[in-house]
């Protein structure tokens, strides 16, 4: 019932700005409908935002049969976000506008297992922020492989990084002086899909990543599912074989132990489909060249993924599946195994569910992280104190000449 986390005015002002960013120019009537606020309130809020130099009136739209609408757009200075993606051996950065457009990006080496990894990360982040222009930064979004207690707090458990109870959020807040949102990197991708991608027109969809790891971001009723301890979406550890290979998690027969990039490479090496020192690029090249062993490895991976995703579709009933991650570069070889396995295990009325594979770039992970900041204006109570600070920074701006 009550909104505690921000003043209501901050919530509304930041929602208007974020909506103009994510959705493009809109009229007052559009904003009232989209944000379910009365036209009277929108008029008041927009008047103040225009006075504060954050919103500008654009051309009039053609009439819809009545008074023509006056379109509104964002002023150029309306704030930016930085996204950081952390993996074991490097860190990627992007700086984006409120519309999600990438202004600049960078990537630097990094050792997540070093005993001074936090201060090294802080240094890298300071360098990236310091080399940007003097535009208002709303906050920092950080995506990590692993689970996070809550995005507004940011305590990380990550086997891949070797981190156990690392208070990353607090450390970065203290060192950088910006609001910081920390989230699992696949969940961050799902947030980005919801805001800027194919998920914009769906309240319920599934993001699946293939590549180094196998993971899922589950969007339900417009929000990413985190559940009890922030660990929803760990589909890589769904058991799919009773006596399958040993997984990095210690169990046997997890999906990931069979279809992660490392697993495919290991199978290919064992089968002689590639040289013992070759990697995934060689496997893809072999499959492209028609090698039956390589094709079979990808087909079987697709089959296992398809069957497993069919079960997930029955469990959570999404309207769309989006496939992302480094592994998508090989999707043409996964698909022959994936499609029949997936659709034949779906109930009849679900067999036409769309599965979309999007164009992947390494900076996509960092864009996902940045989206964590950009999404907070849409959730009045979301991300606790950090969310409130971000909304205040977005809503409280006054443009300087």
Partner DNA sequence: CGCTCTTAATTTAGGACTAAAGAAAGTTCA
Partner DNA sequence: TGAACTTTCTTTAGTCCTAAATTAAGAGCG
Whose structure tokens read 């293939």?
210
Residue 223's closest CA among 203, 197, 209?
203
What six digits make up the tokens of 145?
């492989």
Burial of 311 from C-beta contacts in 10 A (0-12 / 13-18 / 19+)? middle
* Among 232, 274, 301, 374, contact with a second copy (rule: CB under 8 A): 232
Tell me: does residue 24 bind DNA (CB under 7 A).
no
Q: How many binding residues for a second copy (CB under 8 A)?
A: 58
CB of 388 to a second copy, least distance (A): 16
Element (H, E) at 99: none
Tell me: does residue 387 bind a second copy (CB under 8 A).
no
Tell me: does residue 18 bind a second copy (CB under 8 A).
no
Cα(145)–Cα(91) distance, integer angstroms: 12
CB of 128 to DNA, least distance (A): 36
* Among 34, 56, 70, 253, contact with DNA (rule: CB under 7 A): 70
Return the one option of DNA, a second copy, none that residue 189 interacts with (CB less than 5 to 8 A, by type).
none
Cα(355)–Cα(5) distance, integer angstroms: 37
Neighbours of 60 (CB within 10 A): 12
Return the one option of DNA, a second copy, none that residue 289 interacts with (CB less than 5 to 8 A, by type).
none
- Eight-class DSSP state of 245: P
Return the one option of a second copy, DNA, none that residue 305 interacts with (CB less than 5 to 8 A, by type).
none
* Among 5, 6, 10, 12, contact with a second copy (rule: CB under 8 A): 12
Cα(51)–Cα(57) distance, integer angstroms: 11
Residue 294's closest CA among 327, 272, 262, 319?
272
Residues that bind DNA (CB under 7 A): 1-2, 4, 7-9, 11-12, 27-30, 36-44, 46-47, 60, 62-70
Residues that bind a second copy (CB under 8 A): 1-2, 4, 11-12, 15, 35-38, 157, 202-205, 216, 218, 220-221, 225-239, 242, 249-251, 253, 307-308, 310-312, 314-319, 344-350, 380
């Amino acid at each position: 019932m009550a909104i505690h986390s921000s003043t209501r005015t901050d919530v509304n002002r930041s929602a208007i700005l974020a909506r103009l960013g994510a959705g493009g120019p809109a009229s007052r009537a559009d904003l009232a409908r989209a944000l379910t606020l009365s036209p009277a309130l929108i008029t008041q809020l927009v008047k103040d935002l225009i006075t504060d130099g954050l919103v500008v009136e654009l051309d009039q739209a053609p009439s819809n049969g009545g008074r023509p609408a006056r379109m509104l757009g964002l002023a150029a200075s309306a704030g930016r976000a930085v996204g950081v993606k952390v993996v074991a051996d490097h860190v990627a950065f992007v700086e984006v506008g409120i519309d999600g457009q990438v202004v600049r990006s960078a990537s630097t080496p990094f050792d997540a297992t070093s005993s001074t990894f936090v201060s090294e990360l802080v240094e890298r982040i300071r360098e990236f922020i310091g080399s940007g222009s003097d535009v208002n930064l709303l906050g920092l979004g950080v995506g990590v492989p692993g689970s996070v207690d809550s995005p507004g707090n940011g305590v990380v458990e990550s086997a891949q990084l070797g981190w156990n109870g690392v208070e990353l959020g607090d450390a970065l807040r203290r060192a950088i002086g910006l609001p910081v949102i920390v989230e699992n990197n696949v969940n961050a991708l799902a947030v980005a899909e919801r805001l800027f991608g194919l998920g914009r027109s769906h309240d319920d969809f599934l993001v699946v990543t293939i590549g180094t790891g196998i993971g899922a971001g589950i969007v339900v009723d417009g929000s990413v599912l985190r559940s009890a301890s922030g660990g929803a979406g760990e589909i890589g550890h769904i058991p799919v074989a009773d006596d399958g290979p040993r997984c990095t998690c210690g169990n046997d027969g997890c999906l990931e132990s069979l279809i992660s990039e490392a697993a495919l490479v290991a199978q290919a090496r064992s089968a002689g489909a590639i040289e013992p020192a070759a990697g995934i690029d060689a496997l893809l090249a072999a499959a492209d060249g028609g090698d039956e062993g390589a094709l079979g490895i990808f087909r079987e991976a697709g089959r296992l993924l398809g069957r497993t995703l069919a079960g997930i579709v029955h469990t959570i009933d999404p309207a769309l599946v989006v496939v992302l991650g480094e592994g998508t570069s090989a999707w043409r070889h996964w698909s022959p195994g994936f499609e029949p396995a997936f659709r034949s295990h779906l109930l009849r009325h679900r067999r036409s569910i769309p599965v979309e594979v999007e164009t992947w770039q390494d900076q996509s992970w960092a864009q996902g992280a940045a989206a964590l900041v950009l999404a907070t204006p849409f959730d009045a109570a979301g991300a606790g104190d950090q969310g409130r600070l971000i909304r205040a920074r977005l809503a409280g701006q006054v443009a300087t000449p």
